[in-house]
Homo-oligomer: A and B are copies of this chain.
């Protein structure tokens, strides 16, 4: 049985996410519809791209992801299918697939223009229901992406907030891009970025310093700040058993600096 995984900013208080599941099952009864995440921050494409990037490679091969964070719904923004070696992604063309497209080596892009497979009448307010869900469901029936539109050369790329790397002075200036439920501060500084320091660096956020990376949250004393490579592949600043976000009173966008030690 194939899997369709849903990633949206629809939340769970309204009929939006549930209706998409209904549409998919109406077209293809023989599919596992999995809620990957419906709590992307409203219209926050960076957050959506980050969660999708962190999760997709753990899903079964041939999974179809429907990613709907879509502030431009009903505008001229495109609608796309991204096919990689193992997965298919259906989404508005607004950057939400760009972190996946960066990682994957074999990528093919298609526009979605053939309205034959849309719900009728297709609204201009809810393409998740009327376009993206049905396209994903028909894709599980073995239709080629070319059924829905032509191949295109590229897709919209996200303006991802890359950290500033000062090679001369061996410094990195990054930022907090996400704060998770536990108050862990996910930065945009990757494991690879830190490799250049060969383990000799200090992490600075607000007026606090952390002198080394931990391997687990529990390595630090209760409540103590620590740096760790988290499950998204980025440096995280955490506090063992507490919320680092609340302890440091930090919001998304807070600066994080790395200096050679």
| Chain A residues in the interface with B (C-beta under 8 A) | 1, 3, 5, 7, 9-19, 21-23, 25-26, 29-30, 32-39, 42-43, 51-52, 54-56, 58-61, 63, 71-75, 77, 123-126, 129, 178, 180-182, 215-219, 228-232, 241, 243
B218 adjacent to A74 (CB under 8 Å): yes
- A217 CA to B14 CA, complexed, in Å: 18
Cβ contacts under 8 Å, A52 to chain B: 15
- With known contacts A181-B13, A218-B74, A25–B34 Cβ distance under 8 A: yes
A71 adjacent to B34 (CB under 8 Å): no
- With known contacts A15-B232, A126-B231, A216–B73 Cβ distance under 8 A: yes
Copies of this protein chain in the complex:
3
A34 adjacent to B12 (CB under 8 Å): no
A37 adjacent to B13 (CB under 8 Å): yes
B60 adjacent to A36 (CB under 8 Å): no
- With known contacts A54-B15, A217-B74, A35–B35 Cβ distance under 8 A: yes
Cβ contacts under 8 Å, A231 to chain B: 15-16, 19, 123, 125-126, 129
B22 adjacent to A216 (CB under 8 Å): no
Min CB–CB distance A127 → chain B (angstroms): 10
Cβ contacts under 8 Å, A216 to chain B: 73-75, 124-125
- A12 CA to B230 CA, complexed, in Å: 17
B30 adjacent to A33 (CB under 8 Å): no
- With known contacts A13-B180, A51-B15, A74-B219, A33–B33 Cβ distance under 8 A: no
- With known contacts A58-B129, A75-B218, A125-B217, A5–B34 Cβ distance under 8 A: no
- With known contacts A216-B74, A218-B75, A19–B54 Cβ distance under 8 A: yes
Cβ contacts under 8 Å, A16 to chain B: 180, 231
Interchain Cβ contacts under 8 Å between A and B, 24 examples: A1-B29, A5-B22, A11-B39, A12-B37, A14-B37, A15-B55, A16-B180, A17-B37, A18-B37, A19-B58, A22-B59, A22-B60, A25-B34, A25-B59, A25-B63, A29-B32, A43-B182, A71-B217, A71-B241, A73-B216, A73-B217, A74-B218, A125-B230, A125-B231
